[in-house]
């Protein structure tokens, strides 16, 4: 029992020394607002369209966004979906990085298409509803392609004031 008490006191001491701030809370950036200048210029369009099932054709949940970020090698805390999308897009500077994000989102959307097609086969009277969702998902995929084509890589060596034309 004594060893358990010692371990508990050591852990509490560690938390006080290494993790806590003066107000007693652990210092994390979970609630930190991501500056918009650190986000790609298309983030508002993506956020508006992806978060609206009426536009996108599917609802991407927080868990979906967490899985997408984990697959990309990012660690995004589960929070508001808009903040999660901002965190996923943060610091993405090349077409390949943007394409990788959209490829993962497309995998999740394709999963929804498979579900919608199966429901349509099993319940033919609902086919028109799910066909409209599939059409919206296909439009969303075209938006991804357009954004990747329009995206210009940002070179870390580029001088933001003096650039060559």
What phi-psi label fits residue 128: left (phi over 0), alpha (psi between -120 and 50 degrees) or beta?
Answer: alpha
Highest mean pLDDT among 27-31, 38-42, 74-78: 74-78
Give me the percent of the chain exceeding a pLDDT of 90: 36
Residue 160 lies in a domain: no
Q: How confident is the model at residue 139 (pLDDT cuts 50, 70, 90)?
A: very high
**Across 124-149, average pLDDT:** 92
pLDDT (0 to 100) of residue 91: 74
Q: Which domain holds residue 58?
A: 28-150
Is 87 inside any structural domain?
Answer: yes
Q: How far apart are the first and last CA of the chain?
A: 72
Total structural domains in the chain?
1
Residue 155 resides in a domain: no
Residue 41 included in any domain:
yes
- The DSSP secondary-structure symbol of 20 reads B
| DSSP assignment string, 63-85 | HHHHHHHHHHT----S--HHHHH
Per-residue pLDDT at 9: 80
Flag whether 12 is in a domain. no
Q: Is residue 50 part of a domain?
A: yes
Name all contacts of 59-64 with Cβ < 8 Å and 24+ positions apart.
60/105, 60/108, 64/108
Partners of 20 in the β-ladder: 26
Q: At what angle do helices 95-122 and 127-150 cross, to 10 degrees?
A: 170
Task: Answer yes or no: is 55 within a domain.
Answer: yes
**Residue 130 included in any domain:** yes
Q: What is the dihedral of CA 11, 15, 18, 19, to 10 degrees?
A: 150
Kindly report, residue by residue over 9-22, the tens digit of the pLDDT.
887 777 777 665 55
Find which of 47-61, 79-93, 108-122 is predicted with most confidence, using mean pLDDT: 108-122
């Amino acid at each position: 029992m004594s060893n358990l008490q010692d371990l508990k006191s050591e852990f509490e001491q560690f938390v006080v020394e290494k993790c806590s701030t003066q107000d007693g809370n652990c210092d994390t950036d979970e609630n930190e607002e991501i500056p918009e200048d650190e986000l790609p210029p298309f983030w508002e369009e993506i956020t508006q369209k992806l978060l609206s099932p009426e536009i996108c054709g599917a609802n991407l949940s927080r868990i979906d966004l967490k899985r997408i970020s984990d697959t990309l090698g990012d660690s995004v805390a589960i929070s508001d979906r808009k903040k999660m999308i901002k965190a996923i897009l943060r610091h993405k500077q090349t077409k390949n990085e943007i394409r990788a994000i959209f490829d993962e989102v497309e995998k999740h959307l394709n999963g929804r298409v498979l579900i919608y097609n199966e429901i349509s086969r099993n319940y033919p009277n609902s086919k028109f509803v799910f066909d409209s969702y599939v059409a919206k998902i296909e439009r969303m995929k075209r938006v991804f392609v357009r954004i990747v084509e329009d995206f210009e890589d940002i070179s870390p060596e580029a001088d933001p004031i003096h650039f060559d034309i």
